[in-house]
Amino acid sequence: MPNYLNESQIVDLVEGIEVTGSTLKGKMLTWIHHVVLPIKLLFVLSLVFSMARIVTAGEGPYFVTYNHHMEEPGSLELSLSPVWGFPGITSNFMGVSAEIEYGVKGWWTMEFYLQGQGTDGQGALFTGYRWENRVRPLLGEHKINPVLYVEFEDVNGADRAFKEVVGHDSKFDLLEPISAARLTAEREFETKLILSSNFRGWNVAENFIAVKNVKPEPWEFGYALGVSRPLALAASPDECRFCRENFLAGLELYGGLGEWGEFGLRDTSHYLAPSLAWQFQNGTTIRVSPSFGLTSPSIPLMVRFSVSREIGGFTHQVREWFR
């Protein structure tokens, strides 16, 4: 973004925007979009979850960072991940991702996302989809384990999933009303180099991100770093929901690195996000993470939440249905 408005100009601009949420109808619509729709989605997911026959454990505490641990071959993981954003300079929002992750091979994981969002006083909408592939070129476990990541996404400008931060992404992008932002198509290819290591129970992961819009726009860059560890390294002998080994704590740092020809930290957003995952015996994982904006273009606070369920041996189960 070449020319930024200063803070006071932005406040003036926001005050000038007509806010429909102040009416009773607007408030009702907001309530429906923020409460009823997620409940419906949870209900549908719970039906799917109840079909699970064989299950294994879920994943780590990261929301933005990827490590080298792939989905088990033939397993399916379903997740619902809302993120609440509190930008301060404009309306609060909730972005939602419904995710389906599948282990094609031991070295290849595929994931498909459907995304939507709701903004206070502005309504809610489906924003698009993304399709990602992760491949491990080195099959064994090494000190540093590389993973290659390729993704295509077709979302509109109103998307609020914040699965990554690149280029000069900033809270000022949110000033555009979603009715206008939705008209902008963002078809992008995203690549990541994921490097990840395990050491004495710790996982350390570094992601280098490069995004290219299919339109003639410059490459945008970003990064994500994560460190995590289970609260206990050895498992306890008893079945227990609150055992320390069922909890993983993590810390993520992610942000933009500018774009081609303007690489660097100037006018970029950066976030620090502690996170916690709670894994259940039945393969369900609950994760939560507040993200704190570190620079002036960053959204001051985002709160992420995720519930996921892994269905082990999914391919085998499907094969049995058609036998």
Stretch in the footprint of another protein (CB under 8 A) among 18-26, 100-108, 216-224, 250-258 = 100-108
Check residue 237 for interaction with another protein (CB under 8 A). Answer: yes
Structural tokens at position 156: 């509109």
Q: Which helix (H) or strand (E) holds 16?
A: helix 7-16
Residue 98 CA to residue 126 CA, distance in Å, equals 11
Tell whether residue 54 is a contact of another protein (CB under 8 A): yes
Residue closer to another protein by CB (options 184, 282) is 282
DSSP string, 109-131: EEEEEEEEEEETTTEEEEEEEEE
What is the rounded distance in angstroms from the CA atom of residue 21 to the CA atom of residue 15?
13
Inter-residue contact 157 to 140 (CB < 8 Å): no
For position 73 contacting another protein by CB under 8 A, the verdict is yes
Site map 134..163 versus another protein, x via CB under 8 A: --x--xxx----------------------
Residue 222 CB, shortest distance to another protein, in Å, is 25
Site string for another protein, 174-203 (x = CB under 8 A): ------------------------x-xx-x
Nearest to 191 by CA among 213, 216, 217, 159: 213
Q: Which residues pair with 72 in a beta bridge?
A: none
How far is it, in rounded angstroms, from Cα 109 to Cα 58? 14
Query: Segment contacting another protein (CB under 8 A): 36-44, 98-106, 125-133, 162-170?
Result: 98-106
Interaction of residue 250 with another protein, rule CB under 8 A = no
Q: Does 40 bind another protein (CB under 8 A)?
A: no
Q: Are 133 and 149 in contact (CB under 8 A)?
A: yes
Using rule CB under 8 A, residue 107 touches another protein: yes
* 3-class secondary structure, 223: strand
What are 302's strand-pairing partners?
Answer: 85, 291
How many residues form the binding site for another protein (CB under 8 A)?
Answer: 37
Q: Does 236 bind another protein (CB under 8 A)?
A: yes
- Residues near another protein (CB under 8 A): 54-57, 59-60, 68-70, 72-74, 103, 105-107, 136, 139-141, 198, 200-201, 203, 230, 233-239, 245, 281, 312-313, 316
